[in-house]
Amino acid sequence: MSWARLQAAFDAIIDAPEHQRDALVQDASHGDADFERELRELLAADAVKLPLLDRSNAEWASALLADAPRPADERPEFGPYRLLRLLGEGGMGVVYLGERVDVQRMVAVKLLRDAWLSPARRARFTTEQRALAQLDHPNIARLFDAGTLANGTPWFVMEYVEGLPLHRYCEANQCTVTQRLQLFRAVCSAVQHAHDQAIIHRDLKPSNILVTTDGTVKLLDFGIAKQLGQEHRDSERTHTGLRMMTPAYAAPEQVRGERVGVFTDVYALGVVMYELLAERLPLDLSSRTPGQADAMILDIEPEPVSRAARAQGAGSAAALRRSEWNDLDVLCKMAMHKDPARRYRSVDALLRDVDHFRAGEPLDAHPDALSYRVSRFVRRRWREAALVAALVLLSVGAATSYTVRLGRARDAAVREAERRTRLQRFMLALFTGGDEAGPADSLRVVTLVDRGVQEARLLDGDPAGQADLYATLGSVYQKLGRFERADAMMQAALLAHANAGNRDSLTRAALLLNLGDLRIDQAAYLGADSALTQADALVVPRVSARDANAVLLQSRILGTVGRRQEEQGLYDSATVTLQQAVARYPASDPDPLVRASLLGELANVHFYAGRYAESDSLNRLVLAVQVARSGERHPAVAEVYINLGATEFERGRFVEAERWYRKAIDIDSTFYGGAHFRTAAHLAMLGRALVSQERYDEATSVLQRALGIQQATFGSAHPRVASVLNELGNVALKHKAFDSADAYFTRMATVYREANGDAHFTVAVALSNRATVFNEQQQYVRAEGIYRDVVRRFTEAQGAEHMNTGIARIKLGRSLIRQKRWAAGAAESEAGYTIVARQAEPGVSFLQAARKDIAEALLALGRATESATWTKAWESHAAPK
């Protein structure tokens, strides 16, 4: 008997109305009595209950496999929760509708089935719980509570969302395209939030996206979410291999069982968006076998969403213009690209283009067709013109050249801004403490960055993105003062870039530039030179070819070379280099902030060279740009305030300095919170300003606060801690609390030694301050011994001609002169004076001190005329108070 024939007849008849059945059976049997009997028996058997086969095998198998009869489980206790009914079952968990008894609130309770099976299983369940716990977003169902039943079954309670799946909601409410995109935006922002916490959803689909009656989007089910950086290799394979995701929304890499990442969610969002617009799925998999479906997901390019919408008669089809549909085609295509590397790099990038679309601006994703950009930009400009009703018509030629130039500049700006936003977002995630306060800050920072590192490692399939992320992480480590890790990251970035087989020399140059910058922080100046020279060599040919990006990069390289010279105390060279950098900076000024940062660096050089007026006026320029760009309450503005304050401080205008510092701290506290290390750094500077006003008690309390934050954030052996110790030492010195001053400076030296190594110049700074304590106590011999060591250290670390070496020699001279060792003292002071005078303004305090000391020594040596010259010089530079 043919089973196929039986199957066909059975299928045709089984759901037919009872009264037609007889006729249908006879018809199908064609007088074949055996077939007819068999068919009738089977049709009748369909209604027979077969408990064993119809129930979940869990029920009988469990009992069968257990040796001893088991008492029935008691009703589980959930603290204040009561279970009402089963909502659904997933791979591992069961979800119930529950009620929180005390406040009568509906909740969803999820239990792990078969928790006993293995620790790995519990771990996976808690992954979802942990994921939810990390997420705090209005569009993500919230975690309320979690615990374990008496029998060890873990459970958690989350927000119960009553709503319709996204597409059904749109259907039911006949949402317009604008409304649909608005809902889609909310979905994206929820997913981006998860990504910010390094959580990939992996199972985005309309049934996991509910919309409540008031139109709020809620993202559910992080059941197979993946914590980036957490290696569940095996379960990973199980998940992907066993198709726990829904094929219609599965990305090619999921079908292939490859690594998933941010790009996987981007793909699913693309499908969701396509479906929202076209009212059907991009690929029709319904009648396909899974094998065919896989092949389609891998190979078949969906038809453009515009055509699908038209064919489907979707409401959106007529609502949009042709050009708008073009953009949406590009948007969907870019989100659902078969190649993960060619998709939007992040949900944010996708979101940005959705916003561009809504604002009638050019898409970032759009193929670089000049005509497109021109038309899009002209149109937008015209619209603005019409709105303002004030623009005179430009000649067509002028308008075109303007838009083309604008388009290019805009491209560059967008790219730069994207990088910056990514970095900023990352830094923000790092440095803005969430709700949880406490000393875990350092932990958070390190954990997050380390997680980033693991994320970067996962990006094997995308070396370009990997290089990007490594470079970002390198910068973060660098900013955290963890130079070794930063170094490793930068090297990894260069390697990843090389592996990308990418011949893009500019990207490599940019990475080398980062490395050079890091080397400067490491005080490895030769290494910095080598990296910067290499970077420049890569850039030069492209600059000759008038590549705008290369020009931009070159001026940044110059800027960094300038910073290197500045760090080495070569202020004149640094000034020239930085001025060159500013001059080379493209006139079109794609990003005013880059230019401002070059000016800021130049201001720093002026500052260190004691040219406070120049420094001050440049900083005010930088401030104007920064405020225009970011508003007044941005931390970058705080940094400029700090520089302005420092300039005032050096000019002895401590009240003004205090004012600037307080403005900066005000921003810090709002932006980062009061217990943030940035706030701490600025508190330390405020402390200095207070010390100088002899407000020692206030100063001490401000500095202690700063020290507390720094230690909690960085541990006790970090350069930032050392710099606060330095300030506290200075306060104690002013107080003439010499013992505690000595203790602070000694600790400072120890910290720097641990952090930077014994040979680093910061150790010399600490020792030099310690020597000053002895000088003040008139223990000149002891001071002299330390100063000699300090001079040697500065010479080795920064060179014989470095300003620090010069200053140390002036101080050494003073300790000798105080011992009445006039000749040796005068010689040392003069040597120091020569070094410093070459680089600093003639009025700086060290030079004044040297003049005084030298005059005193020469007078004692009987060289009155020479002495008088020094005294005169001193008088001519004495501040007219």
Rounded-to-10 torsion of CA 588, 590, 594, 598: -10
- Which lies closer to other proteins via its Cβ, residue 66 or residue 879? 66
CB of 54 vs other proteins, minimal distance in Å = 8
Residues written for the chain: 881
CB of 427 vs other proteins, minimal distance in Å = 38
**Site membership for other proteins, residue 86 (CB under 8 A):** yes
Burial label, 861 (beta-carbon count in 10 A; 0-12, 13-18, 19+): middle
**Site membership for other proteins, residue 61 (CB under 8 A):** yes
Secondary-structure percent of the chain, ordered helix, strand, coil, rounded to 5: 70, 5, 25
- Indicate which residue of 27, 46, 102, 203 is catalytic: 203
Q: What is the C-alpha separation between 513 and 507, in angstroms, rounded? A: 10
Q: What is the C-alpha separation between 168 and 305, in angstroms, rounded? A: 19
**Site membership for other proteins, residue 55 (CB under 8 A):** yes
Measured CA angle at 255 (ends 254, 261), to 5 deg = 10
**Site membership for other proteins, residue 63 (CB under 8 A):** yes
C-alpha 34, offset from chain centre: 73
Q: Which residues pair with 218 in a beta bridge?
A: 210
Q: Which stretch binds other proteins (CB under 8 A): 17-25, 65-73, 393-401, 410-418?
A: 65-73
**Site membership for other proteins, residue 41 (CB under 8 A):** yes
Residue 310 neighbours by CB under 8 Å, 6+ apart: 317
- Which lies closer to other proteins via its Cβ, residue 284 or residue 758? 284
Phi, psi values for residue 148, rounded to 5°: -135, 140
Please count the CA atoms within 13 angstroms of the CA of 425 that sit on its side-chain side: 19
Q: Radius of gyration (Cα) for the chain, nearest Å?
A: 36
Q: What is the C-alpha separation between 664 and 255, in angstroms, rounded? A: 52
CB of 93 vs other proteins, minimal distance in Å = 11
**Site membership for other proteins, residue 299 (CB under 8 A):** no
CB of 231 vs other proteins, minimal distance in Å = 12
Q: What is the C-alpha separation between 738 and 386, in angstroms, rounded? A: 73
- Which of 1, 172, 311, 781 is close enough to bind other proteins by CB under 8 A? 1
What does the per-residue mask of binding to other proteins show for 107-146, with x meaning CB under 8 A?
Answer: ----x-xx-xxx-xx-------------------------
Give the single-character DSSP code of 113: T
Contacts with other proteins by CB under 8 A: the residue count is 69
Burial label, 63 (beta-carbon count in 10 A; 0-12, 13-18, 19+): exposed
- Which of 22, 23, 60, 620 is close enough to bind other proteins by CB under 8 A? 60
**Site membership for other proteins, residue 84 (CB under 8 A):** no
What does the per-residue mask of binding to other proteins show for 588-607, with x meaning CB under 8 A?
Answer: --------------------
CB of 22 vs other proteins, minimal distance in Å = 18
- Which lies closer to other proteins via its Cβ, residue 33 or residue 66? 66
- Which lies closer to other proteins via its Cβ, residue 152 or residue 439? 152
Q: What is the C-alpha separation between 257 and 374, in angstroms, rounded? A: 42
CB of 281 vs other proteins, minimal distance in Å = 15
HEC readout, 134-172: HCCCCCECCEEEEEECCCCCEEEEEECCCEEEHHHHHHH
- Which of 17, 18, 30, 48 is close enough to bind other proteins by CB under 8 A? 48
Tell me if 654 sits within 8 A of 668, measured CB to CB.
Answer: no
- Which of 67, 102, 214, 484 is close enough to bind other proteins by CB under 8 A? 67
- Which of 33, 34, 45, 396 is close enough to bind other proteins by CB under 8 A? 45
- Which of 24, 43, 428, 506 is close enough to bind other proteins by CB under 8 A? 43
Q: Which stretch binds other proteins (CB under 8 A): 52-60, 300-308, 633-641, 682-690?
A: 52-60
Residue type, 847: L
**Site membership for other proteins, residue 150 (CB under 8 A):** no
3-state secondary structure of 87: strand
- Which lies closer to other proteins via its Cβ, residue 9 or residue 797? 9
Q: Which stretch binds other proteins (CB under 8 A): 41-49, 318-326, 507-515, 817-825?
A: 41-49
Q: Characterize the bridge pairing of strands 199-200 and 81-89.
A: unpaired
Largest CA distance in the chain: 141
The angle, 0 to 180 degrees and rounded to 10, between the axes of the packed helices 463-480 and 441-458 is 160
**Site membership for other proteins, residue 503 (CB under 8 A):** no
**Site membership for other proteins, residue 669 (CB under 8 A):** no
203 is catalytic: yes
Helix (H) or strand (E) holding 106: strand 105-112
- Which lies closer to other proteins via its Cβ, residue 102 or residue 234? 234
Q: What is the C-alpha separation between 378 and 380, in angstroms, rounded? A: 5
Q: Which residues between 212 and 271 bind other proteins (CB under 8 A)?
A: 233-235, 237-238, 241-243, 247
- Which of 64, 103, 392, 545 is close enough to bind other proteins by CB under 8 A? 64
Query: Token match 């050089």: residue?
Result: 605
- Which of 11, 368, 436, 484 is close enough to bind other proteins by CB under 8 A? 11
Catalytic (active-site) positions: 203
Residues at the contact surface with other proteins, assessed by CB under 8 A: 1, 3, 6-7, 10-11, 14, 41-46, 48, 50-73, 76, 83, 86, 91-92, 94, 96, 111, 113-114, 116-118, 120-121, 151-152, 233-235, 237-238, 241-243, 247, 287-291
